Amino acid sequence: MAGFNVHSVLVTGANRGIGLELVKQFLEKSNPPEWVFATCRDPEGQRAQQLKNLVSRHPNLVIVVLEATDPASIKAAAARVEEHLKGSGLNLLINNAGIVRLNTLESETPENMSLVYATSVKGPLLVNQQQPSLP
């Protein structure tokens, strides 16, 4: 990411896995973004501990609550981000939050398929629609 410079970036599903690693990579750049917004569902929970450890070392890191299947949560997250950006817009949005449910023809259920669709398809759409646009 050495030559990849952004003023602000938001990564959804950033408390673990690929999302957490992306956040770390942005923070460790020689010229890190002014703002790195890392969303997770439960910032107070044990699964957010690694993110919280990073906050203590990186004042440009902001943890934002975001549940991808809840439009109200996404709207609240956008408002929180805007408090920091103050109209300057978000440079980069990484819609990383998502789920995979490996199933067979026999074990798959409509409920499971709906959850995957709500999280990994509708979620990114709603996040895109709420993102603070560039001026």
Ligand X SMILES: NC(=O)c1ccc[n+]([C@@H]2O[C@H](COP(=O)([O-])OP(=O)(O)OC[C@H]3O[C@@H](n4cnc5c(N)ncnc54)[C@H](OP(=O)(O)O)[C@@H]3O)[C@@H](O)[C@H]2O)c1
CA distance 51 to 12: 12
By CB under 6 A, residue 96 contacts ligand X: yes
- Nearest approach, Cβ of 41 to ligand X (angstroms)? 4
Of residues 19 and 132, the one with the C-beta less far from ligand X: 19
Which of 14, 17, 42 lies closest to 27 in space, CA to CA? 14
Q: What are residue 9's DSSP bridge partners?
A: 36, 92
CA distance 72 to 8: 23
Of residues 50 and 88, the one with the C-beta less far from ligand X: 50
Which residue shows structure tokens 């408390």? 15
By CB under 6 A, residue 75 contacts ligand X: no
- Nearest approach, Cβ of 115 to ligand X (angstroms)? 8
- Nearest approach, Cβ of 107 to ligand X (angstroms)? 19
Within residues 11-70, the interface with ligand X by CB under 6 A covers 13, 15-19, 40-41, 47, 66-69
User: Which of 97, 126, 131, 132 is close enough to bind ligand X by CB under 6 A?
Assistant: 97
Which residues contact ligand X (rule: CB under 6 A)? 13, 15-19, 40-41, 47, 66-69, 96-100, 119-120
